[in-house]
């Protein structure tokens, strides 16, 4: 079974608007971490934001915020005030307890339109 599901292969958003990228996950662990990465066309994977399973508040990092709904096992990324430079692939990932490696979803390609 897929551990991380990203149902949106591609998304478009107008510059300066907000956009939500969906991510659902599957785990039976109580302790886990959720991550979002950005991959521009250059190929580098850039770490954006982290949410721990015990965190009671949604994580925020600048224009990035994570809408964490533990009961629904979803960890959607919200990008506010989109910029042209936000156009990239976005990957949701999870690490379960016991220092297991990071498992990635298939990604969502975000295109910001001027």
CB of 53 to other proteins, least distance (A): 4
* Runs of H (alpha helix) within the chain: none
Cβ-Cβ contacts under 8 Å for 33 (sequence gap 6 or more): 50, 51, 52, 53, 94, 95
CB of 30 to other proteins, least distance (A): 7
Interatomic CA distance for residues 37 and 6, integer angstroms: 13
- Under rule CB under 8 A, which residues in 22-81 are in contact with other proteins? 30-33, 35, 37, 42-47, 50, 52-55
Residue 21 CA, chain-centre distance (Å), reads: 7
Nearer Cβ to other proteins (43/72)? 43
| Interaction site with other proteins (CB under 8 A) | 4, 30-33, 35, 37, 42-47, 50, 52-55, 91, 95-97, 99, 101-107
């Amino acid at each position: 079974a897929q551990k991380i599901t990203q149902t949106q292969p591609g998304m478009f958003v107008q510059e300066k608007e907000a956009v939500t990228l969906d991510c659902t996950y599957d785990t039976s662990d109580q302790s886990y971490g959720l991550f979002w990465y950005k991959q521009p066309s250059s190929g580098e994977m850039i770490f954006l934001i982290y949410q721990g399973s015990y965190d009671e508040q949604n994580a925020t990092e600048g224009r990035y915020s994570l809408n964490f709904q533990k009961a629904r096992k979803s960890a959607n990324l919200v990008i506010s005030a989109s910029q042209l430079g936000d156009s990239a692939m976005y990957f949701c990932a999870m690490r379960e307890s016991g220092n297991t490696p990071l498992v990635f979803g298939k990604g969502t390609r975000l295109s910001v339109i001027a």
